[in-house]
Amino acid sequence: MTSQQLLVYLSLFAVCVLTKPTDKKDRIHHDPQLSDKVHDDGQNFDYDHDAFLGADEAKTFDQLTPEESKERLGKIVSKIDEDKDGFVTVEELKNWIKFAQKRWIYEDVERQWKGHDLNEDGLISWEEYKNATYGYILDDPDPDDGFNYKQMMVRDERRFKMADKDGDLIATKEEFTAFLHPEEYDYMKDIVVQETMEDIDKNRDGFIDLEEYIGDMYSHDGDADEPEWVKTEREQFVEFRDKNRDGKMDKEETKDWILPSDYDHAEAEARHLVYESDQNKDGKLTKEEIVDKYDLFVGSQATDFGEALVRHDEF
């Protein structure tokens, strides 16, 4: 068994064995906060630094002088300016902030890419992914662990085909990212909803009723009394999840539950940064305007952002 296949097995084992009956399973996909710091520019710009670079990168900014900081910030600005027109718009800045905040996703894709691009042609076909992930396991028609790997493979193939926009069963890096992290892509949201409903809908009627909803989060395991959070979830289902009050959630109600329309923190921060830096008030920023206000973006420190720039180019 390869290390990749072992990882698949162990992760599945962990899900089944390590989850405690009273643990609450969170199906909701929220955009994370940009920073855990208070956003108070009157005190400092720490929140803005975390938002612009990501918290981990922002921590390394005490290594460079202000001059080095400005130089490296200028290089970042060149990457943010997607259409190379010499201006950074709110939309371009929002896209960069989202990239910085979700860098872990691209790092995960990089790790998995190396294990699945077997012929190293810069693409991953469904056959490559299937062979790398399921090849050894599927050779055993009756695995001892009880997992239905063939069913898992069918589900993966369906998701792979959804991510594969041109239908050639060969994924580019962007399509492979959509396959691994479908909740991050609008065109993949239907498959996220479908997979969630299949997981929870035990009686296979195409809906999620109250007991299925609770059963996905909590197992009584012989306990007569439910924890308070379970009682609260029952109320949430009746009052908010089941919008048409028919006692069950359909596809749209499930989508509203697991993929809520959150407040767009990245857009709000992008508008804030533009407003604070836009000297001529034309609604967009030049490199000079950003560098002049460098302390808002990166303070008086900086970091070697080379790896992030390379990743931004790739995606």
User: What is the mean predicted confidence (pLDDT) over 19-46?
Assistant: 76
Q: Is residue 165 part of a domain?
A: yes
Q: Is residue 199 part of a domain?
A: yes
The 10s digit of each residue's pLDDT in 243-258 is 999 999 999 999 999 9
Q: Is residue 240 part of a domain?
A: no
* Cα 251 to Cα 104, 201, 202, 248, distances in angstroms: 30, 11, 15, 10
Q: Is residue 103 part of a domain?
A: yes
Q: Is residue 128 part of a domain?
A: yes
**Quick count: other Cβ atoms within 10 Å of Cβ 7?**
14
Q: Is residue 218 part of a domain?
A: no
The span from the CA of 287 to the CA of 238, in Å, is: 52
The 10s digit of each residue's pLDDT in 124-141 is 999 999 999 988 776 765
Q: How many folded domains does the chain comprise?
A: 1
Segments forming the whole domain that contains residue 138: 65-207+250-309
Q: Is residue 93 part of a domain?
A: yes
Confidence of residue 56 (pLDDT cuts 50, 70, 90): confident
**Quick count: other Cβ atoms within 10 Å of Cβ 132?**
19
Confidence of residue 185 (pLDDT cuts 50, 70, 90): very high
pTM, rounded to two decimals:
0.72
Does 102 score more than 60 pLDDT?
yes
| In contact, 35 and 50? CB cutoff 8 Å | yes
Q: Is residue 3 part of a domain?
A: no
Instruction: Output the CA angle 30-26-205, nearest 5 degrees.
Output: 110
